[in-house]
């Protein structure tokens, strides 16, 4: 009898545990004030103001003077990109930047889309808002927020925006037409940095949700990679009733169980739901994951602990800033680019595009505040509530083959139970919208079509 009671209790506990794990929790919305001083008693100004990117001869002259003082360090023989950014190729970058790159022309390109700013929780938030040039007759464009990461910027989305807002003129169906909002994360580019400690992804998600409400959107789609994936995930956890769909090209979902299945999966992959493509992208684990993490995570340890120290150097040296950031655009685009003398940078990007992204950090002096985001989110370890919570909004995932770590569908399904679209992308890496705008636009459109049919 006692054994039966004990078994019943154990069974009841197990059932309760599984049921409680699937409880649709939401993060508390809360509020915040990240501007200087205490929150004022007066209501915050909610005006949305037009903004224009500008430059000056003085700004460009200062940049050139600093570039001219660059001290060259010869690379080791045959080191390619295995020791970091190859300084022989850096000389080419610096020469182009100094003598051919036209920042004023790039400023004109940046201003092709409408820019705005608005105060939220004490911070000046920058964003671009692009509406369809010819809205579909009788249909309302679908609002889509796209969120960048580090060391990227809102500029990553410049090539994908026309494919989403004006698909018909790019040979695509106009079944799904979007108006696209691309904000700058506070502390990045033209968005004001927090003056207080603790500004993390959840605070950012709340601010971006308030931005969408301020623009008049009660329901909207969101998309992100890198930090954008976490911020968009947090938005779905904060206000799931407002998020029609969540599309990601990166996800932070690895847990102890996933680590265990990795070591057993080479032999028993089918038992853990791994497909043949998963096996190709995950194994050998030593090379695809262990060595990859060891090689590519040094910057993270610095920025999670002492971001201001290295930030001082990067904020003072444009060439140092370029080497630090562009090295990521090499190896994060394709790990095999480490074997090339030029890091493969010009295989996916133009020097103008790469240097424009660098200039958004340089001219705004935002490298230090952008790096602090790592300390605020990861510096205390993986202990925040949102990391343990599931996401109960329709979710789509684009698995680009050269992403830093491949995430199988089975892993995603645990965190995102309403995963309705999972795509193995033909090519591309970490900066997906920047590298492969056509592929990314195609997958977003496919996902939204599935959501709309539900």
The question of whether 226 is a catalytic residue gets the answer yes
Burial of 79 (0-12, 13-18, 19+ CB in 10 A): middle
Task: Evaluate whether 148 touches 165 at the Cβ level (below 8 Å).
Answer: no
Which DSSP string do the residues of 224-246 spell out, in sequence order? ESTHHHHHHHHHHHH-TTTEEEE
Task: Evaluate whether 286 touches 358 at the Cβ level (below 8 Å).
Answer: no
Six-digit token string for 101: 């790159």
Among candidate residues 115, 221, 226, 392, the one labeled active-site is 226
Task: Evaluate whether 166 touches 160 at the Cβ level (below 8 Å).
Answer: no
Task: Evaluate whether 154 touches 184 at the Cβ level (below 8 Å).
Answer: yes
In degrees, rounded to 5, the angle at the alpha carbon of residue 305 between the alpha carbons of residues 377 and 369 is 65
Return d(Cα 393, Cα 385) in angstroms, integer: 18
Task: Evaluate whether 117 touches 364 at the Cβ level (below 8 Å).
Answer: no
Contact partners, residue 112, CB within 8 Å, separation at least 6? none
Six-digit token string for 173: 């169906």
φ/ψ (deg, to 5) at 185? -55, 135
Spatial CA neighbour of 187 closest among 125, 134, 238: 125
Element housing 183 (H / E): strand 178-183
The question of whether 176 is a catalytic residue gets the answer no
The question of whether 283 is a catalytic residue gets the answer no
Spatial CA neighbour of 436 closest among 349, 369, 350, 359: 349
Conformation bin of residue 423: beta by default, left when phi > 0, alpha when psi is -120 to 50? beta
Query: Do the bridges between strand 419-424 and strand 243-248 make them parallel or antiparallel, or are there none, so unpaired?
Result: unpaired
The DSSP bridge partners found for residue 129 are 181
CB atoms < 10 A from the CB of 435, how many?
23
Return d(Cα 420, Cα 256) in angstroms, integer: 25
Among candidate residues 188, 221, 274, 374, the one labeled active-site is 374
Among candidate residues 129, 148, 176, 430, the one labeled active-site is 430
Return d(Cα 400, Cα 453) in angstroms, integer: 25
Query: Residues with catalytic annotation?
Result: 226, 374, 430
């Amino acid at each position: 009898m006692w054994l039966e009671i004990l078994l019943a209790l154990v069974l009841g506990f197990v059932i309760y545990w599984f049921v409680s794990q699937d409880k649709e929790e939401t993060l508390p919305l809360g509020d915040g004030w990240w501007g200087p001083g205490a929150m004022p008693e007066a209501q915050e100004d909610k005006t949305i103001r037009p903004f224009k990117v500008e430059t000056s001869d003085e700004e460009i002259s200062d940049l050139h003077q600093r570039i001219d003082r660059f001290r060259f360090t010869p690379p080791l023989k045959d080191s390619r990109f295995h020791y970091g950014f190859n300084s022989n190729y850096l000389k080419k970058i610096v020469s182009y930047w100094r003598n051919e790159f036209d920042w004023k022309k790039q400023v004109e390109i940046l201003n092709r889309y409408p820019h705005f700013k608005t105060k939220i929780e004490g911070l000046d938030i920058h964003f671009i808002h692009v509406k369809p040039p010819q809205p579909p007759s009788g249909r309302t464009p679908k609002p889509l927020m796209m969120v960048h990461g580090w060391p990227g910027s809102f500029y990553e989305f410049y090539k994908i925006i026309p494919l989403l807002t004006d698909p018909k003129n790019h040979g695509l169906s106009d079944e799904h037409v979007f108006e696209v909002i691309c904000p700058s994360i506070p502390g990045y580019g033209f968005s004001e940095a927090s003056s207080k400690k603790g500004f993390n992804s959840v605070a950012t998600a709340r601010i971006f949700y308030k931005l969408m409400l301020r623009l008049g959107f009660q329901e909207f789609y969101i998309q992100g990679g890198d930090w954008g994936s976490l911020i968009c995930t947090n938005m779905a956890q904060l206000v799931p009733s407002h998020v029609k769909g969540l599309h990601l090209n990166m996800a932070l979902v690895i847990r102890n169980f996933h680590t265990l299945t990795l070591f057993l999966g080479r032999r028993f992959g089918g038992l853990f739901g791994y497909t043949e493509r998963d096996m190709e992208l995950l194994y050998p684990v030593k090379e695809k994951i262990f060595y990859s993490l060891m090689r590519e995570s040094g910057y993270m340890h610095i920025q999670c602990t002492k971001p201001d120290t290295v930030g001082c150097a990067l904020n003072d040296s444009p060439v140092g800033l370029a080497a630090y950031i562009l090295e990521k655009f090499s190896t994060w685009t394709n790990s095999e680019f480490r074997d090339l003398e030029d890091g493969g940078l010009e295989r996916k990007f133009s020097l103008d595009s790469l240097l424009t992204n660098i200039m958004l950090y340089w001219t705004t002096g935002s490298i230090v505040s952008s790096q602090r985001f790592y300390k605020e989110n990861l510096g205390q370890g993986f202990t925040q509530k949102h990391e343990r919570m599931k996401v109960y909004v329709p979710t789509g995932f684009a698995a680009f083959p050269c992403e830093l770590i491949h995430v199988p569908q089975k892993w995603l399904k645990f965190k995102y139970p309403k995963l309705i679209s999972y795509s193995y992308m033909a090519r591309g890496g970490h900066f997906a919208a920047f590298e492969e705008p056509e592929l990314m636009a195609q997958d977003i459109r496919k996902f939204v079509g599935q959501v709309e049919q539900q």
